[in-house]
Amino acid sequence: MQAHQILKVRVDALCEEAHGVRSFRISRLDGRPFERYTPGAHIDVMSPSGIMRQYSLCGDPECLDSQIFAVKKEEPSRGGSRSLHEEVSVGTELSVSAPRNLFRLEESASEHVLIGAGIGITPLLSMAYRLAAQNARFMLHYFARSEAHAAFMTRLSGEPFETHVTLHFAVARDALAATLDACLCQAGPGAHVYTCGPAPFMDLVVEHAQAHLPATAIHLERFKADPAAAAETSPGSFDVQLASTGQTVHVEADTSIVEALASIGIEVDTSCGEGVCGTCMVDVMSGEPEHRDHCLSQAERASNSVICCCVSRSRSPVLVLNL
Ligand code: FES
């Protein structure tokens, strides 16, 4: 199945995992098993309201009969999470994409430190399944406002996770830095850190992890774009050239690369439209991208070899794309 192919699925089970968090167990309508996915992957889910959103798979990646994703009901909701909470019941049919993974486990790491907050537990849970199955050395630190706000508590407090999981409830804002330091100071030089949760939380995790580990050993996944970050840089205009034909299109300051390419008949697949899912990633042949996405790894950013065309811009006057 191609990443952008849409699959029809049926909701087999719903579970209230925490205050405002519901999990959805789905199976394929054609009765076939899902293709194997790697821990940390997410899928696009089309809600009954017609809004597409990205959700991490949070079940055991070895289980191919079903997939599980969880949705936090956002207040206010832009429509996607509310629709999935209010308009879906057991038996509802949904459309989903194939899994994509921009948040992979580093197989060569000597140990893994997973640090999640709130709904950010979801991609870490599928990682924990894989690490437990491999008998890998790992710790999962889960931060939540209270036990009632912590999802998947039954699973996290039982086999095979209980000895790997540390729960942090109601940590005061001014105690968070010290708590994160305590989580991270035990990490050996070969450790990799993975974090998912609200943007300020992840920023703090990264800041503290960098005191112990190189930037390439720190991985994070954002669920939605940070508008403040997007507004930080000035837009500017530039040209995009197609490597295949040499055709050039001008990208105005108020236009995205996706929109500019569409104006000359070149369609780039998109999903989130805000730089978090990676659907619109295209290889860069030359030029210097100005990365405004939230999904590329440090290494991908440094190499300037790919760009997310929905939000990113160019620092050079011309960007040549592998199109
Ligand atoms: S469409 Fe999601 S990152 Fe561009």
293 pocket-lining for ligand 1 (C-beta < 6 Å): yes
Instruction: Return all residues near 204 (Cβ < 8 A) that are at least 6 apart.
Output: 176, 177, 180
Antiparallel, parallel or unpaired: β 111-117 and 138-144: parallel
Confidence of residue 296 (pLDDT cuts 50, 70, 90): confident
Distance 271 CA to ligand 1 centre (A): 6
Distance 168 CA to ligand 1 centre (A): 32
71 or 223: which leads in pLDDT: 71
Task: Give the model's pLDDT for residue 80.
Answer: 84
Distance 32 CA to ligand 1 centre (A): 29
Distance 309 CA to ligand 1 centre (A): 7
Task: Give the model's pLDDT for residue 226.
Answer: 54
310 pocket-lining for ligand 1 (C-beta < 6 Å): yes
Distance 173 CA to ligand 1 centre (A): 32
Distance 253 CA to ligand 1 centre (A): 19
- Report the distance separating Cα 248 and Cα 246, nearest Å: 6
Locate the ligand 1 atom nearest the alpha carbon of residue 278 and give its number. Answer: 3
Name the closest-CA residue to atom 3, ligand 1: 275
Of 97, 103, 223, 279, the one to substitute when testing ligand 1's pocket (max ligand atoms within 8 A of C-beta) is 279
Task: Give the model's pLDDT for residue 232.
Answer: 46
Residues 28-32: contacts with CB under 8 Å, at least 24 apart: 29/93
- Report the distance separating Cα 224 and Cα 53, nearest Å: 10
Segment 198-222, tens digit of pLDDT: 888 999 999 999 988 998 899 998 7
3-state helix, strand, coil split of the chain in percent (to 5) is 25, 30, 45
Segment 140-193, tens digit of pLDDT: 999 999 999 999 999 999 999 999 999 999 998 889 999 999 999 888 999 999
- Report the distance separating Cα 179 and Cα 298, nearest Å: 25
Task: Give the model's pLDDT for residue 70.
Answer: 97
Distance 272 CA to ligand 1 centre (A): 5
User: 259 pLDDT exceeds 90?
Assistant: yes
Locate the ligand 1 atom nearest the alpha carbon of residue 294 and give its number. Answer: 3
116 pocket-lining for ligand 1 (C-beta < 6 Å): no
Confidence of residue 225 (pLDDT cuts 50, 70, 90): low
- Report the distance separating Cα 157 and Cα 97, nearest Å: 31
- Report the distance separating Cα 29 and Cα 79, nearest Å: 25
272 pocket-lining for ligand 1 (C-beta < 6 Å): yes
- Report the distance separating Cα 314 and Cα 251, nearest Å: 10
260 pocket-lining for ligand 1 (C-beta < 6 Å): no
Q: What is the mean pLDDT of residues 274-283?
A: 88
Segment 231-253, tens digit of pLDDT: 444 458 999 999 999 999 999 98
Task: Give the model's pLDDT for residue 106.
Answer: 94
Distance 308 CA to ligand 1 centre (A): 6
Q: What is the mean pLDDT of residues 282-301?
A: 87
Task: Give the model's pLDDT for residue 75.
Answer: 76
266 pocket-lining for ligand 1 (C-beta < 6 Å): no
CATH numbers and ranges of domains, the chain: 6-97 (2.40.30.10), 111-221 (3.40.50.80), 229-321 (3.10.20.30)
Task: Give the model's pLDDT for residue 294.
Answer: 82
233 or 273: which leads in pLDDT: 273
Locate the ligand 1 atom nearest the alpha carbon of residue 54 and give its number. Answer: 2
Task: Give the model's pLDDT for residue 233.
Answer: 46
102 pocket-lining for ligand 1 (C-beta < 6 Å): no
Task: Give the model's pLDDT for residue 300.
Answer: 81
User: 1 pLDDT exceeds 60?
Assistant: no
Give me 27's structure tokens: 């199976």
Q: What is the DSSP letter of 316?
A: S
Instruction: Return all residues near 121 (Cβ < 8 A) that are at least 6 apart.
Output: 58, 142, 150, 151, 152, 156, 196
97 pocket-lining for ligand 1 (C-beta < 6 Å): no
217 pocket-lining for ligand 1 (C-beta < 6 Å): no
Distance 87 CA to ligand 1 centre (A): 26
Task: Give the model's pLDDT for residue 285.
Answer: 95
User: 97 pLDDT exceeds 50?
Assistant: yes
116: phi then psi, degrees, rounded to nearest 5: -125, 155
Task: Give the model's pLDDT for residue 248.
Answer: 94
SS3 state at 88? coil
Segment 102-126, tens digit of pLDDT: 899 998 999 999 999 999 999 999 9
Mean pLDDT of the chain: 90
Distance 313 CA to ligand 1 centre (A): 13
